[in-house]
């Protein structure tokens, strides 16, 4: 069984700052303060947390959902699916 990935690399949509963060396993992180521009980022509409919106890996609850329901993952955007595959394989 594949392990849940806890590190995600966030790219700030405002200044392009890239930072690898460890995600909490028990909750979604709704806000993230960019270390580059000090702006508080919020998830995009339809995303549960900033990692799903701006990170290379979706948040742990989402990953667990994916592992349980692989079928539904195929409906996710291809770019994000690719990044997830890269992270777990
Ligand atoms: Zn920024």
pTM of the model: 0.68
Residue 32 has pLDDT above 80, yes or no: yes
Q: How far apart are CA 27 and CA 64, in angstroms?
A: 12
- Ligand 1 centroid to residue 13 C-alpha, Å: 7
pLDDT reported for residue 64: 85
Domain ranges in the chain?
Answer: 7-88
More confident residue, 62 or 77: 62
The pLDDT of 63-80, averaged and rounded, is: 69
Residue 11 has pLDDT above 80, yes or no: yes
- Ligand 1 centroid to residue 33 C-alpha, Å: 8
Q: How far apart are CA 28 and CA 89, in angstroms?
A: 23
Counted residue by residue, the chain has a size of 89
- Ligand 1 centroid to residue 62 C-alpha, Å: 24
Residue 73 has pLDDT above 60, yes or no: no
Residue 89 has pLDDT above 60, yes or no: no
């Amino acid at each position: 069984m594949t392990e849940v990935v806890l590190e995600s690399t966030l790219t700030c949509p405002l200044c392009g700052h890239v930072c690898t963060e460890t995600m909490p396993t028990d909750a979604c992180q709704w806000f993230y303060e960019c270390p580059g521009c000090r702006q508080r980022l919020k998830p995009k509409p339809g995303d549960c947390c900033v990692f799903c919106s701006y990170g290379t890996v979706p948040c742990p609850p989402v990953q667990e959902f994916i592992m349980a329901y692989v079928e539904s993952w195929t409906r996710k955007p291809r770019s994000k699916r690719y990044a997830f595959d890269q992270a777990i394989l």
